[in-house]
Amino acid sequence: MLKGDNINGYVVMQNFTTAGGGLSKWTFAQKSGKVYFLKEFLSPKYPTPDAPGSEKSKQRKLKECQKFEKHHQGLIQEVNEKCGIGGNLVFTVDFFRHKTKYYKVTEKIDVASLSVAEIASLPLANRILILKTIAHSLNVLHNAQIVHGDLKPDNILIKRSKTGSYTAKLIDFDNSYFSEHPPEITEDVVGDMAFYSPELALYIKEDPAVTPGDLTTKSDIFALGLLYALYLTGKMPEFDHEAYTYAGIAAIADKQIVLTATDLPDKLNNLVTRMLQTNYHKRPGIGEVFNTLKTMDLGKETFEADKTAKKTSGLSLKGNLLAKKETGGKEATTPLPRKKPGATGEKTVGGLRGKGLSIRKKKD
Q: Residue 312 carries which DSSP code?
A: T
- What pLDDT, on the 0 to 100 scale, is given for residue 22? 64
Q: Residue 235 carries which DSSP code?
A: S
Nearest to 251 by CA among 356, 311, 333: 333
Nearest to 230 by CA among 256, 199, 261: 261
Are 176 and 208 in contact, with CB atoms under 8 Å apart?
no
Residues 47-68 pLDDT 10s: 998 888 899 999 999 999 999 9
Burial readout 166-183 (b: 16 or more C-beta within 10 A, e: otherwise) = bbbbbbbbbbbbbbeebb
Count CB neighbours of 297 within 10 A.
Answer: 9
Residues 144-155 pLDDT 10s: 899 999 999 999
In whole angstroms, give the CA distance from residue 83 to residue 117.
32
Does 165 have pLDDT greater than 70? yes
- What pLDDT, on the 0 to 100 scale, is given for residue 172? 87
161, 226, 309 from 277: Cα distances, Å: 33, 11, 11
Does 323 have pLDDT greater than 50? no
* Class of residue 275 by CB neighbours under 10 A (exposed 0-12, middle 13-18, buried 19+): buried
Count CB neighbours of 329 within 10 A.
Answer: 8
Mean pLDDT, residues 12-18: 91
- What pLDDT, on the 0 to 100 scale, is given for residue 110? 85
* Phi, psi (deg, nearest 5) at residue 68: -60, -45
Does 305 have pLDDT greater than 80? no
- Can you say whether the dihedral through the CA atoms of 22, 141, 187, 273 is positive or negative? positive
- What pLDDT, on the 0 to 100 scale, is given for residue 84? 61
Does 254 have pLDDT greater than 80? yes
In whole angstroms, give the CA distance from residue 61 to residue 97.
14
Mean pLDDT, residues 322-348: 37
- What pLDDT, on the 0 to 100 scale, is given for residue 83? 67
- What pLDDT, on the 0 to 100 scale, is given for residue 86? 55
Does 279 have pLDDT greater than 60? yes
Identify which has the larger pLDDT, 193 or 331: 193
Mean pLDDT, residues 173-177: 87
- What pLDDT, on the 0 to 100 scale, is given for residue 308? 36
Identify which has the larger pLDDT, 306 or 135: 135
Quick one: pLDDT band at residue 343, thresholds 50, 70, 90?
very low
Quick one: pLDDT band at residue 79, thresholds 50, 70, 90?
confident
- What pLDDT, on the 0 to 100 scale, is given for residue 21? 56
Nearest to 194 by CA among 153, 154, 247: 247
User: Which domains, from first to last, does the chain contain?
Assistant: 6-107 (3.30.200.20), 116-361 (1.10.510.10)
Does 161 have pLDDT greater than 90? no
Are 252 and 320 in contact, with CB atoms under 8 Å apart?
no
Mean pLDDT, residues 138-146: 91
Count CB neighbours of 49 within 10 A.
Answer: 5
Q: 41-50, 112-121, 177-186, 335-344: which has the minimum mean pLDDT?
A: 335-344
Mean pLDDT, residues 247-272: 94
Quick one: pLDDT band at residue 85, thresholds 50, 70, 90?
low
Nearest to 336 by CA among 257, 246, 229, 258: 246
- What pLDDT, on the 0 to 100 scale, is given for residue 46? 95
Q: 92-106, 121-135, 200-214, 350-364: which has the minimum mean pLDDT?
A: 350-364
Quick one: pLDDT band at residue 28, thresholds 50, 70, 90?
very high
Q: Residue 21 carries which DSSP code?
A: G
Beta bridge partners of 345: 361
The per-residue pLDDT of the chain, averaged, comes to: 81
Residue 74's Cα: distance from chain center in Å?
20
Within 8 A by CB and 6+ apart from 205, the residues are: 336, 349, 350, 351, 352, 355, 357
Strands (E), the chain: 6-7, 10-12, 17-19, 24-31, 34-41, 92-98, 101-107, 146-147, 156-160, 166-170, 177-178, 345-348, 358-361
Are 258 and 233 in contact, with CB atoms under 8 Å apart?
no
